[in-house]
Amino acid sequence: MLDLRSGAYAAAWTPRGELAERTVTVRVLHEREVDGVPVRSVVSHFNKATKGRLVRDLLVAGARPRTAAELIGTLRELKHTVEEQAAASGRARQVDVVVTDL
């Protein structure tokens, strides 16, 4: 399951157990250079647009990943910059999708 809900909605319900282990939550980060140093920030305004592009790319590619690992791999194959964050056992896998253009 690809969980694209915003933080406020995600806080209302969290998948647990077996469902959580099949779930990937996405956070969108914008990376830009400030004084020669890469800086990342959470995307708010363009968050939905970026998540929409992820879904569009998966649909256009005809991708049908069956596991969280396959989903992450597919997003990378589709040229998205995806960084997986550590997740506790029984919790959803969390990924950051890093964008440079909004």
- Percent of the chain predicted with pLDDT > 70: 100
For 47-56, the pLDDT digits (tens) are 999 999 999 9
CA atoms within 13 A on the CB side of 4: 11
Residues of the domain holding 80: 2-99
Q: Per-residue pLDDT averaged across 74-88, rounded?
A: 94
CA-to-CA separations, 31 to 1, 27, 28, in angstroms, rounded: 26, 13, 10
Domain count, the chain: 1
- Percent of the chain predicted with pLDDT > 90: 75
Model pTM score? 0.88
pLDDT at 102 over 80: no
* DSSP 8-state symbol, 22: T
Please give the pLDDT value at position 87: 80
